[in-house]
Amino acid sequence: MRDDFLTTIKENERIIYKLVRIYAEQYDDQQDLYQEIIYQLWKSFNTFQGKSKISTWIYRVALNTSLAHINLRKKHSGEVSIHDIELQIEDKIDTQIEDKIAKMYQQIRRLNEIDRAIIFLSLEGKDYEEMATITGFTASNVGTRLNRIKQKLKTRLIKE
């Protein structure tokens, strides 16, 4: 079972990677959250019954764990800047793009818990139905929220 699990994680590691950066700002905190997500996935791996796609299950567990993480933890007082983190964890191929990616994560992190989850799933290319399955909100509510988030982001981006 462990091999199956490891293979599943390897196949879907990008989901966790992006989510970790959306919910945790500091590098140490990102690592902790990553561990928590892996642990939660492992804990429930044998109860996954294949009723939904494995990626849907991963999205759900990872999003819930991230939400629990920010609710159970005190805010991390970071000693390392966001820019430093980018340099630590990304290959320094193109600093300009890295910088933009860092800013993008920063913008998303400024959203509230629900908006963060919805924009993440939208960027991942999920349709309203799947987003509704993962989040528990209705599909129409997800659509309304998504439009509002886009407007919010646009206003912020114009201001900056």
Partner 1 sequence: MELEEIKSLWDDVNQKPAIKEFFSRQNISYMTQLNYNKQANTFRVAEIIGLVVAYALAGLILYKFNMLDTWYLSICGIIVVMYLLLMPLYTITGIIRMRKIDLAKSSYKEVMEHFYSVKSRLKQAENVSLIASPFLFVFSMAILAKIFMDIDFFTLTFQLPIVLLIVLAFTGAILFNIWAFKKRGKQLQSVKQLLEEGN
**Based on CB atoms, which residue is closest to partner 1, 8 or 78?**
8
Which residues have CB under 8 Å from 134's CB, separation 6+?
Answer: 56, 59, 60, 63, 117, 121, 126
Reading the block at residue 57, the tokens are: 């299950």
Our finding on whether 89 is near partner 1 (CB under 8 A) is yes
Binding map of partner 1 across residues 141-160, x = CB under 8 A, - = no contact:
x---x----x--xx--x--x
Which residues have CB under 8 Å from 146's CB, separation 6+?
Answer: 118, 119, 122, 128
Our finding on whether 136 is near partner 1 (CB under 8 A) is yes
* Nearest 10 degrees: Cα torsion 4, 6, 7, 10: 160
155, with CB counted inside 10 A (0-12, 13-18, 19+), is exposed
Binding-residue total with partner 1 (CB under 8 A): 62
Q: Which of 34, 85, 126, 128 binds partner 1 (CB under 8 A)?
A: 34
Our finding on whether 54 is near partner 1 (CB under 8 A) is no
User: Which residues contact partner 1 (rule: CB under 8 A)?
Assistant: 2, 5-6, 9-10, 13-14, 16-18, 20, 30-32, 34-36, 38-40, 42-44, 47-48, 57, 60-61, 63-65, 67-68, 71-73, 89-91, 97, 100-101, 103-104, 107, 112-114, 117, 123, 134-138, 141, 145, 150, 153-154, 157, 160
